[in-house]
């Protein structure tokens, strides 16, 4: 087991009569970059604070590198934390902020100076030692907070939506740097966010949470291609959701009715237990929908272009079809993209091998 592995087993948390977290089972691999992704109120910050030790679990256990953390105070855990509002010490300068933990630990002065210089260099703030916190920009404060928590070289770094206050451009830049720093140090990063793009960009593993539960754990690719529930499908990336019905079920193939269409899918494309006659939701990513005419293994239908968004490298077409509204996404350079126009009727193809069917329960 690599240093910095977190094992969460059967963890739940109640605040009074309200349950904010239930039955969380999760193994966070040492040295990986993991994001806890979910809408606000899904319990992701609560889970982070349980790992940090600022909250005590109502049920279940959390272990770090095999050591149970019950009753271990935050200061005794091998954990660093970057807070949402950063929580930099306003009465101390940049050097003193980064040196804070080292001084508490009684590190010799020469070593403190060297380490502060090293970590300020790592976050690109060499030479900022004597700046006051109030003189720094939002991005610089971010870097100081990161350097401060990394200076103690913790096995695990917890980050609670630290980038949410920054503008998009700076955010993208810091995301790239954060990822590079994580790779360089091989520290376990657990990052809380509600931004699925951020999660996709940063993570080795995404933990999708909703309503106090973990809904899916997987790599960004797995979660995008094979979402475990309609919620995950909608939350991670754009998706078309169509209402259909299971027609027949046999061992090797399941046929699904969608409007006038009937098509067969392998059991691997079905989420839930299919039963003949059961209602289902059929999910299809916009980039799988093509407007290049009929093709094999695809539902073919006519669609009217309601709206057309040309987004630079891509073109997004909002279609009105007999099955309901559909969104199609294609590269701006694709041959058919130039001919599209609002109000025009086109031939829409939905390849059946890209569909995921969620059986309603």
Partner 1 sequence: MRGATATPRGLGWLLLPAVLVLALFLGAVALLFLHAFWTKDGFSLAYFKQILDRADYHEVFLRTVSIAAIVSIASALLAYPIAWLLWRLPKWRNLLLVVVLVPWLVSLVVRTYGWLVILGPKGFLNETLRWAGVIESPLPLIFNDLGVVIGLTHVLMPFSVIATLSVLLQIDNRLEEASESLGAGALETWRRVVLPLSLPGVFTGISITFLTSMGAIVTPILLGGIRQKMAGTQIYQEVVYNFNMSKASAWALCLLILSALGLVLLRTVEAALVPKADK
Q: Applying CB under 8 A, does 9 fall inside the site for partner 1?
A: no
Q: Which of 1, 15, 39, 54 lies at the binding interface for partner 1 (CB under 8 A)?
A: 54
Nearer to partner 1, 105 or 310 (CB): 105
DSSP one-letter code for 284: E
| Lookup: tokens for 75 | 């200061």
Residue 183, classed as helix, strand or coil, is: helix
Backbone angles phi, psi at 149, to 5 degrees: -80, -20
| Lookup: tokens for 313 | 């490298």
Q: Applying CB under 8 A, does 100 fall inside the site for partner 1?
A: yes
Q: At what angle do helices 109-122 and 138-150 cross, to 10 degrees?
A: 130
Using the contact rule CB under 8 A, the part of the chain among 56-64, 76-84, 295-303, 312-320 near partner 1 is 76-84
Using the contact rule CB under 8 A, the part of the chain among 79-87, 237-245, 262-270, 280-288 near partner 1 is 79-87
Using the contact rule CB under 8 A, the part of the chain among 100-108, 189-197, 231-239, 287-295 near partner 1 is 100-108
d(CA 155, CA 189): 9
Nearer to partner 1, 156 or 233 (CB): 156
- Minimum CB separation from partner 1 for residue 101, in Å? 4
| Lookup: tokens for 36 | 């806890």
CA–CA distances in Å: residue 119 to residues 100, 138, 178 = 13, 18, 13
Using the contact rule CB under 8 A, the part of the chain among 17-25, 77-85, 275-283, 287-295 near partner 1 is 77-85
Q: Given strand 345-351, what is the order of strands in its sheet?
A: 324-331, 314-321, 298-310, 345-351
Q: Applying CB under 8 A, does 79 fall inside the site for partner 1?
A: yes
- Minimum CB separation from partner 1 for residue 353, in Å? 48
Q: Applying CB under 8 A, does 148 fall inside the site for partner 1?
A: yes
Q: Applying CB under 8 A, does 138 fall inside the site for partner 1?
A: no
Q: Give start and end residues of each alpha helix (H) in the chain.
A: 44-52, 94-105, 109-122, 138-150, 168-185, 196-202, 220-225, 230-235
Q: Applying CB under 8 A, does 310 fall inside the site for partner 1?
A: no
Question: Applying CB under 8 A, what is the total number of residues that bind partner 1?
Answer: 28
Give helix then strand counts, H and E, for the chain: 8, 20
Nearer to partner 1, 82 or 265 (CB): 82
Instruction: Name the site residues for partner 1 (rule: CB under 8 A).
Output: 52, 54, 73-75, 79-81, 83-85, 87-92, 100-101, 104-105, 132-135, 148-149, 152
């Amino acid at each position: 087991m690599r240093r910095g592995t977190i094992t969460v087993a059967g963890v739940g948390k109640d605040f009074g009569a309200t349950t904010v977290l239930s039955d969380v089972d999760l193994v966070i691999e040492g040295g990986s970059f993991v994001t806890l992704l979910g809408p606000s109120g899904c319990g992701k910050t609560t889970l982070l604070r349980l790992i940090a030790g600022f909250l005590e679990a109502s049920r279940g256990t959390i272990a770090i590198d095999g050591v149970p953390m019950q009753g271990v105070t935050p200061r005794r855990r091998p954990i660093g934390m970057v807070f949402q509002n950063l929580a930099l010490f306003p009465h101390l300068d940049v050097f003193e902020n980064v040196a804070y933990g080292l001084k508490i630990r009684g590190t010799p002065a020469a070593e403190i100076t060297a380490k502060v210089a090293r970590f300020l260099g790592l976050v690109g703030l060499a030479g900022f030692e004597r700046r006051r916190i109030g003189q720094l920009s939002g991005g610089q404060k971010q870097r100081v907070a990161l350097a401060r928590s990394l200076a103690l070289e913790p096995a695990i770094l917890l980050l609670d939506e630290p980038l949410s206050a920054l503008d998009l451009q700076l955010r993208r830049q810091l995301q790239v740097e954060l990822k590079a720093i994580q790779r360089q140090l091989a520290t376990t990063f657990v990052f809380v966010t509600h931004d699925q793009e951020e999660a996709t960009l940063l993570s080795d593993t995404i933990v999708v949470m909703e309503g106090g539960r973990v809904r899916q754990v997987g790599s960004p690719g797995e979660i995008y291609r094979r979402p475990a529930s309609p919620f995950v499908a909608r939350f991670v990336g754009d998706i078309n959701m169509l209402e259909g019905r299971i027609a027949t079920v046999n061992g090797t193939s399941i046929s699904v009715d969608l409007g006038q269409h009937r098509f067969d899918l392998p059991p691997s494309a079905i989420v839930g237990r299919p039963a003949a006659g059961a209602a289902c939701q059929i999910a299809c990513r916009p980039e799988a929908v093509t407007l290049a005419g009929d093709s094999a293994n695809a539902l073919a239908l006519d669609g009217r272009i309601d709206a057309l968004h040309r987004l630079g490298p891509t073109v997004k077409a909002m279609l009105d079809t007999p099955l309901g509204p559909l969104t199609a996404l294609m590269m701006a350079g694709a041959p058919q993209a130039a001919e599209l126009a609002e109000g025009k009727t086109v031939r829409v193809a939905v390849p059946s091998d890209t569909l995921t069917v969620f059986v309603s329960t």
